[in-house]
Amino acid sequence: MISSLPWYILLLPLAAAVAIVLLTRSWPRLSSSISVAAVLGSFVCSCFVFVQPDIRALELTWIDVRPLLYVPLGFVLDELSKTMLVLVSGIGALIHIYSLGYMREDDGNSRYFASLSFFMFSMLGIVLSNNFVMMFIFWELVGVSSYLLIGHWFERDTAAEAAKKAFLTNRIGDFGFMLGILMAWTATGTVVFSEMSHQLGRITSYPGYLTVSALLIFCGAVGKSAQFPLHVWLPDAMEGPTPISALIHAATMVAAGVYMLVRVGFLVEASPHALSIIAWIGTITAVMAALIATQQNDIKRILAYSTISQLGYMVMAVGLASGQAAMFHLFTHAFFKALLFLGAGSIIVMLHHEQNIWKMGGLAGRLGITFLTFMVGTLALIGFPPFSGFFSKDAILALAHEKNSAIFWLALFTAFLTAFYMLRLVVVVFFGRPRSDQARAGREAPWVMIGPLILLALPAFASGFNFFAKIFVQLPGETEAGWLIPGMALGATLTGVILAIVLYRGRETDPVNFAPFRNRFYFDEIYAFLIAATQGALSKISAFLDRWVLDAGFVRGTSTATWGVGSLLRLLQVGNLQAYSFLFGLGIVVLIYFTLFK
């Protein structure tokens, strides 16, 4: 059945963004209502599309230089993309509503909602794309909306720098992504996913070429999903408003890398070498980010590192050739991580933008609903049965156990760390005595903010259950190991929980201080040094050469040496129109002379 519904899903948010920028910028309330209406419209359309078994959409032509290159603007509507549609527009809708409360006193309210709608448009575009170039288009647009929203408070230097860093880091990943697309296209002659999977035979006979192109495409995911070594932008992205951190930098956009890898699974899974590198990158990321998270003090940064770590799990699952396990974890993670961020946002805004967990404390009583929902998110994240994260993480652990024992042990260690840093957060923030005046005065957030928390808490609890999850995602098959893996996972989690409670109960300051974790393994410092040593130095040298050798020495030196040029100079300094006309005439005369009389 051909329907225009998918186009509405995509274009409603775009229309809202355009309308806000062009027409309603000076009316923040109207702007925010338009934006919320658009995302609700997208969500309703997505639900309709979700239940239609056989639906297709009209295809437009973006570039057509056949037989060389044909890029359609067309949609892929299968189970994978339908689930993502509902997920993205659903969580997006909740976060739009939450933003009504969170941003209501902000000066840039209209700009915020325009960017948010623009983000929805771009993200839904990634989900719907049926070819590489179109996906790349929306991929970069998502990057730019993320740039706009991280830099929403652009007059703050930290936000301005963070926005720039996020965009540039993603551009580096996209460099690889585009190159991978070029290589895959060169070999198969198409950029459309379905055609490429049919033509794949043309590359599989060159395993090296295939591996390189798959890994380059993976680079795009490394950037977008903040995997090692391009993870550095995500923690800084927390400079943006908290609903943005929940929507873009936790639930949806950063998961786009994983979605893309699952979408092009046919290509990635054809190369065993690429797969094992992907699995290891995911593993390293998961462990590294979890280690860093244990020593951070900013509530949002802890959650950001936790996001990186969980994305590492998903990438690990992709690398272990199970797109289903990756999507399952993506699905559950979207709910509980959005919930955790929104809970953090509700704390932050009620404590007048205090983000340091050591300035909080004893909030369990004061912010009751926030606390309860935050606990649901925490239990889901640390994989406590029967919360959703338990099932999806278990699927990945079982997979790792089956395929690669080293990765399995590291994944299990990460599960322990996850429980440890989350309970550290919960104990310090919600229990003990309040450690600042703001914490003593904290009150519960308004209902537009609490409502989405409750609505998200339900799937964060239940989305792991078989009967619920299988409506949306293909669940990975049961493995042989039975209760061994869940048992070990639970053991690791409980160890982490107990250790955190013992260490942090009733503390006024952090009893542990381990500099490498606290300083994020010095990645930022190392990168700053490397950039200064390469790009900075090269650009200074080039600029010097250009100015003093190419320009001054070469050009000016030779030109002033010539008498004819010297007199030209005099003519010009006069600014004499006759002189120019004379020169012009001279050219014409020379032309005629040479062509006709010689």
Partner 1 sequence: MILPFIVFCPIVAALAILCGAPARRTALWAAGFTLAATLLVYFEFDAGRRGFDFVVSYPISDAWRLNFTLGVDGLSLIMLLLTAIVTFAAIWFTGPIATHEHAFHACLLLIAGGALGAFASLDLFFFYAFHELALIPTFLLIGIWGTGNRHAAAWKITIYLATGSFILLLGLIMLYRSVPDGARSFDIRALQKAAALGMIPTDAQGTIFLVLLIGFGILVSLFPFHTWAPEAYASAPAPAAMLHAGVLKKFGLYGLLRVAIPLLPQGAQQWTTLLLVLLLGNIIYIGLVTIAQKRLDWMLGYSSVMHMGYIFLGIASGTLLGMNGAAVLIFAHGISIALLFGIAGEIRQRTGTLLLSDLGGLGKIMPRAGLAFGLAAFASIGLPGFANFAGEVMVLFGAFRNGAEPYRFHIFQIATVLALWGVVISAVYMLRAYRKVFMGAMPENWSGVTDLRRSLHVPIGLLVAVTLWFGFFPQSLVRIVSPTFKSYFTQKP
Shortest Å distance, C-beta 138 to partner 1:
8
Positions in 187-226 near partner 1 (CB under 8 A): 187, 203, 206, 208-209
* Dist CA 194 CA 185 (whole Å): 13
CB 312 within 8 A of CB 282: yes
Q: Contacting partner 1 (CB under 8 A), which of 185, 218, 336, 341?
A: 185
Residue 68, interface with partner 1 (CB under 8 A)?
Answer: yes
Which of residues 204 and 405 has its CB atom nearest to partner 1 in the complex? 204
Shortest Å distance, C-beta 168 to partner 1:
6
Positions in 372-401 near partner 1 (CB under 8 A): none
Shortest Å distance, C-beta 296 to partner 1:
25
Which of residues 141 and 196 has its CB atom nearest to partner 1 in the complex? 141
Structure tokens at 502: 């013992």
Residue 64, interface with partner 1 (CB under 8 A)?
Answer: yes
Pick the stretch among 150-158, 335-343, 346-354, 521-529 that binds partner 1 (CB under 8 A): 150-158
Q: Is 227 helix (H, G, I), strand (E, B) or coil?
A: coil
Which of residues 191 and 320 has its CB atom nearest to partner 1 in the complex? 191
Please name the residues in contact with 145: beta carbons below 8 A apart, sequence gap of 6 or more: 115, 116, 118, 119, 122, 248
* Dist CA 518 CA 508 (whole Å): 18
Written in H, E and C, the secondary structure of 26-62 is: CCHHHHHHHHHHHHHHHHHHHHHHHHCCCCECCCEEE
* Closest C-alpha to 234, from 261, 253, 215: 253
Q: Is 483 helix (H, G, I), strand (E, B) or coil?
A: coil
Residue 27, interface with partner 1 (CB under 8 A)?
Answer: no
CB 74 within 8 A of CB 318: no
Compute the half-sphere exposure of residue 24: CA atoms within 13 Å on the CB side of its CA. 20
Residue 583, interface with partner 1 (CB under 8 A)?
Answer: yes
Shortest Å distance, C-beta 148 to partner 1:
9
Shortest Å distance, C-beta 164 to partner 1:
5
Positions in 525-564 near partner 1 (CB under 8 A): 535, 538-540, 542-543, 546, 550-551, 554-556, 559
Shortest Å distance, C-beta 26 to partner 1:
11
Q: Is 64 helix (H, G, I), strand (E, B) or coil?
A: strand
Pick the stretch among 325-333, 457-465, 481-489, 588-596 that binds partner 1 (CB under 8 A): 588-596
CB atoms within 10 A of CB 573: 8
Using N-to-C axis directions, what is the helix angle for 79-102 and 109-128, rounded to 10°? 170
Q: Contacting partner 1 (CB under 8 A), which of 2, 51, 65, 561?
A: 65
Pick the stretch among 149-157, 271-279, 406-414, 433-441 that binds partner 1 (CB under 8 A): 149-157
